[in-house]
Structure 1
Amino acid sequence: MNKKCARCEKTVYPIEELKCLDKVWHKLCFKCQVCNMTLSMKTYKGFNKQPYCEAHVPKAKATTMAETPELKRIAENTKIQSNVMYHAEFEKAKGKFTPVADDPEILRIKQNSKIISNVAYHGDLEKKAAMEQKRVMSGENGDGVHESEEVTDHLDQLTSQFMSPPGRQVGSVADLDPVNDFYGSLSAADRSAANVNRQSANQSHGQSMGPGRQGRVYRAMYNYDAQDSDEVSFMDGDLIINCSPIDEGWMTGLVERTGQTGMLPANYVEPVN
């Protein structure tokens, strides 16, 4: 029995036969029912056993349910039960807490409380209290270093007298003498005179500081790692000699343990009596 094409209803021979959607088609008759675009087994979309292209295949619609009196009664009962449960929970919790809106001030307080909680958890409050206590104790013991400060002030005055002699231009490169800690514009005679005055002042005022120590002497209260090439690192308990203040909060000195000279923070050290 000859097979008939589902579209043109003509005889389909085996060489041009296409079986799809439980029907037999000519390959050229297998087209979209809307736009007549020729389809293949990879591009067709079936709907009610008819071929369609991707653009024209009918879309299935959601099934709607008629609103019967029984469905209305169920919906009303569900709404009533929901309201009853809501009001029951409201009456149960009424008076126990007061809801507060999250304004910017409350958000700021919450953030500060979170930061304080984290600091307390990591133990930073105890470290800060110990540092403050050491700082207060070092301030109470600061009266015992007036003598060494007077010696250093006297040395600074002597040096300033020779660093700017009258009639001489300051800043000559030929007069730099880093070995003897002279970085100003001095002649050879001026440098020798300054050395004599500095040595005599140290001998008269620096005997109580011990051998090899000059100027102010401080002891480190905490560990410090140098943050720049002109700074110096030290550990808790190190002695720092030849200290001289630069500005409020910083000074220069020589770490006796390592022999390194550089800048250091003044709040990390305490004067030695």
Structure 2
Amino acid sequence: MSKKCARCDKTVYPIEELKCLDKTWHKLCFKCQVCNMTLNMRNYKGFNKQPYCEAHIPKAKATTMAETPELKRIAENTKIQSNVMYHAEFEKAKGKFTQVADDPETLRIKQNSKIISNVAYHGELEKKKAMEQKRVMKGENGEPVSDNDETAGHLNQLTTPPTRQVGSIADLDPVNEYYGSLTSDYRAPSGNYNNHNLAQPPPPQSNHNQGTGRTYRAMYDYDAQDNDEVSFRDGDLIINCTPIDEGWMTGLVERTGQTGMLPANYVEPAN
């Protein structure tokens, strides 16, 4: 029995046979039912066992359902349940955040705020960088040295004289209003205070052997920071040195004839 084409109803020979959609077709008869475009097994779309192209395949339509009492009840229950869940989520998130619609104006303001924040941040960085560049330290020779020079920073710590006012507990006598070197405007004791008479320098002595203390030689320049301290220069001989506190001593500068307190780490024993 010969096969018939589903479109032209003529005999289909094996060399031109095409089987698709449970039917037999001539290859040239396998066309779209609307525009008659020749189709193949790759681009056809089937609907009710008829071939169609992509553009003309019939679209499925929604089925209309009758609104029965049961459907109304289900829809009402679904609405109530969704409202309950919405209010529960709303109460849970109340006060935590405020939702803002991402309209073009809001996005523009947000972008401008971000740009301004970045500019302010980088401006602060530039300001700090400029301030760091202005900071300088002085070395032993008094010339400015960059902060990045670690050796100069270490040298500055070693050569900078202490700025604190050093005194001994023995210098305090609040009853007679005598506070020693702890105040810049202290007065000399009015009574008999032999142990505190550091403010009265002894007469200059030129002979090293006349004093009972040791003799030291200055390694650095030092400027007095208080009334009871003494200034000296590198290489000066300091005689009659007597330790009075940790890191401090009293002595007579031979070059100037002045007696007072001096830092012990600025001098070394003379040979």
Question: Could you say which TM-score interval applies, normalised by the shorter chain?
Answer: 0.3 to 0.5
TM-score when scaled to structure 2? 0.37
- The structure with more radius of gyration: 2
TM-score when scaled to structure 1? 0.36
Higher share of residues assigned helix: 1
Q: Tell me: higher relative CO, structure 1 or 2? Use CA pairs within 8 A at least 6 residues apart.
A: 1
